[in-house]
Amino acid sequence: MGYYDLPAVIDFILGATESKNLAYVGHSQGTTELLTLLATRPEYNEKIRVAALMAPVAFLDRTKGTVRILAAFNGLLSRIAKLLGIYKVLTNSYWIHFVDTTLCEKTAPTILLCENFLFALSGFDRQQFNMSLLPLIADQGPSGASIKQLEHFGQLSNNGGKFTMFDYGRRSNMQRYGTPHPPEYKLSNVKVPVHLHYGLNDWISGVQDVTKLSRLLSNCTVKPVPYPKFMHLDFLWAKDVDKLLYRDMISMIGDR
Ligand SMILES: *[C@@H]1O[C@H](CO)[C@@H](O)[C@H](O)[C@H]1NC(C)=O
Ligand SMILES: *[C@@H]1O[C@H](CO)[C@@H](O)[C@H](O)[C@H]1NC(C)=O
């Protein structure tokens, strides 16, 4: 996604708007994509004026909660998926849609279960969560992921704190990369000014991993969202996200 899809999107926008460069705003995996793009195709630095990265994910060494537990079983889970011929998960298929919209319906007794499921993935923040959004969230998501995507994130949380390319196993790594272990993404290739915004209660993109990332980027500012319970999904839909983050973030990007 970082190597092929994102540059296609960027080139399309620059073509359509006849602009030389653009401001990039990403959240979570959207930040991983930009970092992998600039690390592997540094010519794209020219096309990005500034990048605002919310809940940035490169290092996943200190991830907590459900993601950490799943990561521990990463190898096993992906072997099982391959055995069963499953390559995509969390699609908005008929059955998933039926189950999650039913469980998360406004009047359903299970709506708390539904809320806690989201919290268990990414950190708890009841005050900032607008329960009336749940039916909408359940209706539109999840929108699908490939097993390989999840496996790569699992590898990042298990590889001793490195931001590495996909690990195909010794033999395939030799063929693809010429080394038995996957190479690290070269963060020194990221030259654009980057603003990192992180949540103090974010189980996925935690303070330590973000701080580590910030040290490896050449032109970077780091800012916690000024609210102690701010978590991974608050960046998308917290009640006060506008006051707590968006206004500030947009003014940091500047207009042009
Ligand atoms: C970071 O980028 C900004 C905008 O391009 C530039 O004005 C500033 O001098 C850069 N800072 C460093 C430390 O390179
Ligand atoms: C919560 O979401 C509903 C439905 O979108 C919206 O009408 C309401 O203004 C939101 N409340 C707050 C406090 O943001």
Determine the pLDDT at residue 109: 73
Alpha carbons 113 and 119: distance in angstroms, whole number: 10
User: How does pLDDT run across 191-205, given as a tens digit for each residue?
Assistant: 999 999 999 999 899
Is 28 annotated in the active site?
A: yes
183 burial level (CB within 10 Å; 0-12, 13-18, 19+): middle
E-state strands within 118-253: 145-146, 194-198, 220-224
Weakly modelled stretches of the chain, pLDDT under 50? none
Residue whose Cα lies nearest atom 9 of ligand 1: it is 219
Find out whether the beta carbon of 127 lies less than 6 Å from any atom of ligand 2: no
Residue whose Cα lies nearest atom 2 of ligand 1: it is 193
User: How does pLDDT run across 96-154, given as a tens digit for each residue?
Assistant: 776 777 777 777 777 777 777 777 666 778 889 888 888 888 788 777 788 888 889 99
- Which atom of ligand 2 lies nearest, measured to the CA of 239? 14
Ligand nearest to the CA of 218: 1
Alpha carbons 153 and 137: distance in angstroms, whole number: 23
Is 181 annotated in the active site?
A: no
